[in-house]
Structure 1
Amino acid sequence: MMQTVVSVLNADLLAFQEVDSVDALSRVIDPDEYNFYFSDRAKYHQKSRGSNQFTGWAVKKNIEVIDHADFAPLGLPTFLSKGNLRYGSYIEVRRENQPPLHLLSIHLKSGCFETPVRRNNSCKKLERQIDALSVWIKTRQKLGHEFVIAGDFNHYMNTSNEWVWETLQKEAGKGNLINLSEHTIAKCKARRFNYRTKRWEQVVYDKLIDHIIASPGVLSSDIIPLAKQFRYSYHSVANYRLSDHCPVYVGL
């Protein structure tokens, strides 16, 4: 089923998160059609008892790519460790008659979905990640790079008076950052295991935590394209083990 979704979207660039391995990704995305660029963590991270959750990109083979080092500060490294959170997977793609596009696939800390909760440990970590992300954005700006950041922010960034988007906008400077998924309507059907009843349940997630933000220069016109959410049918959710995230996509 996920192969069908990828085929229907037929995207040139796919930002992925929570992927265990090249073998796992190859079951969903055709390796004869796409090149895979995994987070550097996949090179040294030992296999855990469960599954690994790497970020990365799948890019159609006709597109020239520079595979940059991960943006490791998102892992919140310390003096004693490289950090245990996910890194940002950073690539650069060449475009005909246009400046190169710098791309970051991210998966931020879970557990801080809404604005009012700012004091718990998850929110403190997310706040540090947003500060780190602001540094990456300002670096791209100083170098004159056009960029897109896509992935799982684990935050309802489109709600009013929330701090993640406000912080990113403030740090980037007024008008220097656009949220391509700002008006995306979320209605993602999924299955969730209820540990209390020991049963799978169908749910609908009506708030967006997957977002796409970019520098204004990536647009081909003054009209900001609206990112859309690809929604699974109830039949597909009931009969296949799908992701609990519905893909968000946009044309530039």
Structure 2
Amino acid sequence: MKWMIPALGALALVTACERSSAPAPVPGGLRIAAWNIEHLAAENGMGCAPRDDAGYQRVTAIIDEVGADIWLLQEIENEAALARVFDPSQWTFHVEARPAGEQDDYPLCRGRDDGTRLTMQSTAIAVRRGIDHVVLPALTELDVEGQDRLRWGVAITLTGEAPLDLMSVHLKSGCFSGDAASACPVFFDQVPVLESWIDERSAAGRGVIVGGDFNRRLEVEGDSVWLDLNDGDPAPLRLAGAGISPRCNPRYAEFIDFLVLNEEAARFKVDGSFFETTFSGPRERHPSDHCPIAVDVRWPG
């Protein structure tokens, strides 16, 4: 099938000085993006990155600018939150079904003294309507503690001549490098779960793309986690933006958000198509503390 990519204009209230330009989509291609939208709540003023109407509109403007057909998303409260920034008539939502607790059970936001509490932080996928796909079982095993606190992987398959499996992940935070941090034992328990999911599909000859917030600097030379994931069995993996440094925040020289492609999916990646959409202007007007990343593929769906 042909992937139809309509041109979408950014909202007028977001000026050029507040965003950067994304490259035009490749004709006939499929654009896949990943973005941790930072505590995207369903209601104004809620969560640890509370937004007003203009804040939600800034998020929508970036979504329109990137022009992706599929979004692998993190830190989403629920479908209602997605409907604040994606037009439900144009998009299909798949949100992690991990049980949400009562609002009073969530911790207070760090660095705030107004009583604001954390909201549910789920993984999700948004698919432009018209793209044929089916929902796969969530990778619930990523909740290695079994207490509904660790995020599941949400997955779909693009159907057609050559199935392509896509998953949104948000791994345990705090083990960004090395193995000494207190979060590392839990994080390291998640890695073989994700590796097994990728390897099983790769061994069956399926294309696989896993995207999202890995909370790990996988491109640091000799990183043990990347070496485990990319052990060549049954086939090598690729980072869509390998060798490209992030520009989202000058404090950080290494990505922790990635689009990981198995060998079959990498065959269809458009050379040079990986990009990161960054923000300028005052930090308090940035739509998230993470910047979207995206890649184009010519998938024979």
TM bin (shorter chain): 0.7 to 0.9
Superposed displacement of residue 128, structure 1: 0.9
2:130 aligns with 62
Structure 1 pair 48–69 and aligned structure 2 pair: CA distance change class (3 A): farther
Q: Counterpart of 1:245?
A: 290
Residues 26/221 of structure 1: CA separation in 2 closer, same or farther (3 Å cut): closer
For 1:207, the equivalent position in structure 2 comes to 254
Choose the corresponding residue for 2:156, options 84, 91, 116.
91
Counterpart selection for 1:110 from 173, 192, 202: 173
Deviation (angstroms), 1:219:
3.7
TM-superposed deviation, 1:125: 1.1
Matches within 5 A, 1:77-156: 77=145, 81-95=146-160, 98-115=161-178, 118-156=179-217
Q: Distance in 2 between matches of 1:39 and 1:136?
A: 17
The AA in structure 2 aligned to 1:211 is F
2:221 pairs, out of 125, 141, 160, with 160
Structure 1 unaligned blocks of 5 or more: 190-202
Are residues 1:182 and 2:242 paired? yes
Moved more, 27-36 or 13-22: 27-36
Identify the structure with the greater helix proportion. 1
Cα deviation, residue 164, structure 1: 1.3
Q: Secondary structure at the match of 1:70?
A: strand
Structure 1 residues 185, 119: closer, same or farther in 2, change over 3 A? closer
How far does residue 65 in structure 1 lie from its aligned partner after superposition? 1.7
1:38 to 63, 71, 95: 95
CA-CA distance at 1:228 after TM superposition: 1.6
Aligned-partner SS, 1:161: coil
Q: How far off is 1:35 after superposition?
A: 0.5
Aligned-partner Cα distance in 1 for 2:255–2:269:
25
Q: Secondary structure at the match of 2:61?
A: helix
Native 8 Å contact 2:269 2:295 kept in 1: no
Task: Supply the AA of the counterpart residue of 2:162.
Answer: P
Per-residue deviation, 1:207: 2.0
2:78 to 12, 21, 40: 21
Distance 1:233 1:164 in 2: 32
Give percent identity, aligned residues only. 26
In 1, the alpha carbon distance for the partners of 2:196 and 2:148 equals: 17
- Give the TM-score taking structure 1 as reference length: 0.83
Match of 1:234 in 2: 281
Aligned to 2:62: 5
After superposition, the CA RMSD in angstroms is 2.0
Q: Given that residues 18 and 54 in structure 1 are in contact (C-alpha distance below 8 angstroms), is that contact kept between their aligned partners in structure 2?
A: yes
2:244 counterpart SS class: coil
Whole-Å separation in 2 of the counterparts to 1:104 and 1:148: 7
CA distance in 2, matches of 1:5, 1:128: 34
Measure how far apart 1:165 and its partner are: 0.9
Any idea what SS the aligned residue of 2:193 has? helix
**AA of the residue aligned to 2:84:** R
User: Does the 8 Å CA contact 1:76/1:84 hold for their aligned counterparts?
Assistant: no
